[in-house]
Amino acid sequence: MAKLELRGVQKRFRGADVLRGLDLSVDNGDMVCLIGASGSGKSTLLRCINLLDPIDDGEIRLDGQDISAPELDPQPVRQRIGLVFQSFNLFPHMTAEENVMLAPRRIKRQGREALRPEIAALFARFGLDDRMGHYPDQLSGGQQQRVAIIRALAMRPEIMLFDEITSALDPELVGEVLDVLRQLKSEGMTMVMATHEMSFAREVADKVCFLSDGHILEQGPPAQLFERPEHARTAAFLRAVL
């Protein structure tokens, strides 16, 4: 059974169809990359999976459980799904450590002292143990985005979603963030990532999906999709970005 399964997902925004019956399946431990033009629905899809935006029709299953039922309380589901944003969205009034600690403290009802060893270990794992006491505006973009990833990981999610997390970064800072993803991949994390980093997708992804007009026009292993796209539009997009 797939870890994450989307069937016929539809989403309208102010009268416009953003997702039109989209199907997607993500296996345990896989890294799935979503590519496509701006406005093709990649961000919306990720927000829908995290239940930040409710879908209009279709269903989303996590470990076989329908998490998209309208009557379902989204809060426990979101705790199982990490989401990292393009613009980091760190809480500016909290230090890096406080940013990471907030959700575990409130949701798992654990004290700061009890949480500290685990949080410190997470920072150390991604080379930020000397930045725990810094406020977001004292960190570089790359450091901020790594803190945002650590913040999502602190809830021990079963799956991580990344929404163009390197697009807002200066080019020289992209590498340190992508290294984090490589590390997570090697640790067996299930991940879905909207990205424009084609070479990274080609290197790391288990599956690449090309979004167009609100559904997945074409998907497959990177070698196949990048070398031998079946659809003319996929080919045209790839020619434009590569």
Partner 1 sequence: MTATHGAPGPTRRERYEARARRRGSAIALGSTVAVLLALVVLIPLAPGWEAVKKSFFNAEIFARTFPGLLQAFLLDVAIFAWCAPIIAIWALVIALARDVRSPALYPLRLFAVIYTDIFRGIPVILIVYLIGFGIPGLGLQRPWNSPYIWGSLALILTYSAYVAEIYRSGIESVHASQRAAALSLGLSRADMMRFVVLPQAIRRVVPANMNMLIALQKDVALLSFIGPVEVLRQAGVYKSLLANFTPYVVAAIIFLCVTIPATRYADYLIAKQNRARS
**Smallest distance, partner 1 to C-beta of residue 104, A:** 9
Instruction: Give the whole-angstrom CA distance, residue 85 versus residue 145.
Output: 8
User: Who's near 24: CB < 8 A, 6+ residues apart?
Assistant: 4, 5, 6, 9, 32, 45, 209, 216
Q: Which is nearer to partner 1, 42 or 78 (CB)?
A: 78
Beta bridge partners of 209: 34, 219
**Smallest distance, partner 1 to C-beta of residue 108, A:** 10
The binding site for partner 1 (CB under 8 A) comprises: 47, 50, 52, 74-76, 78-83, 85, 87, 89-93, 102-103, 106-107, 148, 151-152, 155
**Smallest distance, partner 1 to C-beta of residue 222, A:** 27
Instruction: Give the whole-angstrom CA distance, residue 173 versus residue 180.
Output: 12
Q: Which is nearer to partner 1, 34 or 49 (CB)?
A: 49
Q: Which is nearer to partner 1, 45 or 83 (CB)?
A: 83
Q: Which is nearer to partner 1, 162 or 237 (CB)?
A: 162
**Smallest distance, partner 1 to C-beta of residue 186, A:** 24
Q: Which is nearer to partner 1, 14 or 106 (CB)?
A: 106
**Smallest distance, partner 1 to C-beta of residue 152, A:** 7
**Smallest distance, partner 1 to C-beta of residue 4, A:** 16
Instruction: Give the whole-angstrom CA distance, residue 30 versus residue 3.
Output: 9
C-alpha dihedral sign at 140, 131, 186, 158 = negative
Q: Which is nearer to partner 1, 107 or 236 (CB)?
A: 107
